[in-house]
């Protein structure tokens, strides 16, 4: 526990609906209970209806606090590879996305200029804050961030990110892939788990309360044998892949007796698509296939916590299952099996070797059978270990706050 006398800006991509990003500021604030905090993204938006925060934009806070002493903590996420264009598009209302993409197709210079104007920030990597925005800044922290594809980005983008990292007092990353890449650029990062490993430890009473919601209560009534929590992003939405997922889930239901609950872990552009879940459900023959409607992050936590296992593409779906000592496996495209995705990188760094990191859609049924067989005591021990490691790491990160 750290007490500071100056505000700490908690900065991250919790200005759009994405499950993990919306959790991060809750975790940081809970671990800084006596510290005044400000919640900042790149867009000013109110996401409290989803369990998020009333978020201020970083340029707005820079105008208000630029001459005052502050700390700034990047609260987590794959922010080292968020470029300005993709960031600006993901912050748009859904109906504006395709027209904007079409408008700037094959116009990279105009595209970047538009994005920087939208964000009111210069630069290529907007979720890595520029220290020059806050000249009186006391301490800048990167808290368990990621960037597994960092070396694949253009040289000018990488140079900007490295410059910003070198301006921070302390940098911590959540996987060995990111750690080793940054080390080659001279960044002496610490390695700590993703902040979301703390969710069970910090928020169980809140999650238990949300587990009493009418929607979850109805799921429990409908699924007396239990259910598996399944999620996948919109890029799995072609007809062949959806048919494969449906067939694999039918096979799991036949073999286990569990129901299937499909849920969204993100509603921002390029995240999860409700129509894809509806199409999978329509292709399944299993008697109990339920589409979970809520986008509230605490409802989603409760859904995963009460499940038999999690299977999906979301890294934070996996991590919440880890926190609650549940079996878990990530879904990936077949062509990604040869790549180090953020899901695979995190699993290789922190998860049990007995658990498969990722499975392709055609491997889902066997992957689920494999993770259900893993020893539950080992899952409990791993959950406790990650909480201990994160607490130690977070305390070290915050040692210089005042």
Ranges 162-176, 199-213, 331-345: which has the least confidence: 331-345
pLDDT digits (tens, 9 = 90+) for 58-105: 999 999 998 899 999 999 999 999 999 999 999 999 899 999 999 998
Question: CB-hemisphere CA count at 13 Å for 43?
Answer: 19
Q: How does residue 5 score in pLDDT terms, banded at 50, 70 and 90?
A: confident
* Residue spans of beta strands (DSSP E) within 322-397: 328-331, 358-359
Instruction: Please state the domain extents for the chain.
Output: 8-191, 198-386
Q: DSSP 3-state assignment of 18?
A: strand
Q: DSSP 3-state assignment of 56?
A: strand
Please report, in angstroms and rounded to a whole number, the separation of the first and last CA atoms in the chain: 12
Q: Cite the DSSP H helix spans in 196-268.
A: 199-210, 214-222, 239-256
Give, in order, the Cα–Cα distances in Å from 57 to each of 46, 84, 128, 326: 11, 15, 14, 36
Q: How does residue 401 score in pLDDT terms, banded at 50, 70 and 90?
A: confident
- What pLDDT, on the 0 to 100 scale, is given for residue 268? 87
337, pLDDT greater than 80: no
- What pLDDT, on the 0 to 100 scale, is given for residue 1? 47
Q: What is the distance between the alpha carbons of residues 301 and 12, in angstroms, rounded to a whole number?
A: 20
pLDDT digits (tens, 9 = 90+) for 299-311: 999 999 999 999 9
Give, in order, the Cα–Cα distances in Å from 348 to each of 304, 337, 340: 22, 13, 10
Element at 389 (helix H, strand E): helix 376-397
3, pLDDT greater than 70: no
Question: CB-hemisphere CA count at 13 Å for 177?
Answer: 21
- What pLDDT, on the 0 to 100 scale, is given for residue 335? 86
- What pLDDT, on the 0 to 100 scale, is given for residue 4? 59
CA 281 to chain centre: 25
Give, in order, the Cα–Cα distances in Å from 232 to each of 195, 271, 367, 392: 22, 9, 15, 33
Q: What is the distance between the alpha carbons of residues 59 and 121, in angstroms, rounded to a whole number?
A: 7
pLDDT digits (tens, 9 = 90+) for 236-271: 999 999 999 999 999 999 999 999 999 999 998 878
Q: How many CB atoms lie within 10 A of CB 309?
A: 23
**Angle subtended by helix axes 214-222 and 297-305, to nearest 10:** 20
Q: What is the CATH number of domain 198-386?
A: 3.40.50.2000
Give, in order, the Cα–Cα distances in Å from 374 to each of 129, 228, 355: 41, 16, 7
């Amino acid at each position: 526990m750290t007490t500071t006398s100056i505000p700490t800006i908690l900065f991250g991509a919790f200005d759009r609906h994405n499950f993990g990003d919306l959790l991060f500021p809750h975790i940081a604030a809970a671990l800084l209970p006596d510290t005044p905090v400000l919640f900042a993204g790149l867009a000013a938006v109110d996401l409290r209806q989803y369990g998020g925060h009333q978020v201020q934009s970083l340029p707005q806070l820079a105008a208000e606090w630029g001459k005052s002493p502050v700390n700034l903590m990047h609260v987590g996420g794959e922010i080292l590879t968020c470029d300005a264009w993709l960031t600006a598009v993901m912050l748009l209302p859904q109906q504006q996305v395709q027209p904007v993409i079409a408008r700037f197709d094959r116009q990279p210079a105009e595209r970047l200029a538009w994005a920087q104007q939208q964000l009111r920030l210069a630069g290529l990597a907007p979720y890595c804050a520029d220290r020059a925005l806050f000249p009186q800044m006391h301490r800048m922290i990167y808290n368990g961030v990621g960037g597994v594809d960092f070396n694949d980005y253009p040289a000018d983008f990488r140079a900007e990110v490295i410059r910003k990292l070198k301006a921070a007092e302390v940098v911590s990353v959540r996987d060995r892939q990111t750690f080793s890449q940054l080390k080659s650029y001279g960044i002496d990062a610490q390695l700590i788990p993703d902040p979301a490993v703390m969710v069970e430890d910090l928020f169980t009473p809140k999650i238990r309360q949300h587990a009493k919601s009418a929607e979850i209560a109805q799921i429990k009534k409908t699924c007396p044998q239990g259910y598996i929590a399944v999620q996948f992003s919109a890029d799995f939405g072609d007809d062949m892949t959806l048919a494969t997922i449906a067939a694999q889930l039918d096979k799991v239901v036949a073999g286990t007796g569990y129901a299937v609950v499909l849920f969204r872990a993100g509603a921002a552009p390029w995240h999860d698509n409700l129509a894809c879940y509806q199409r999978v459900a329509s292709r399944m023959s299993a008697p109990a296939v339920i589409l979970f409607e809520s986008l509230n992050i605490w409802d989603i936590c409760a859904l995963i916590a009460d499940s038999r296992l999690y299977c999906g593409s979301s890294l934070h779906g996996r991590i919440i299952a880890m926190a609650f000592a549940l079996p878990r496996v990530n879904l990936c495209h077949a062509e990604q099996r040869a790549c180090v995705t953020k899901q695979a990188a995190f699993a290789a760094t922190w998860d049990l070797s007995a658990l498969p990191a990722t499975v392709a859609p055609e491997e889902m049924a066997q992957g689920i059978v494999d993770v259900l067989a893993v020893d539950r005591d080992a899952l409990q021990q791993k959950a406790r270990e990650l909480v201990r490691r994160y607490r130690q790491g977070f305390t070290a990160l915050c040692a210089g706050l005042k």
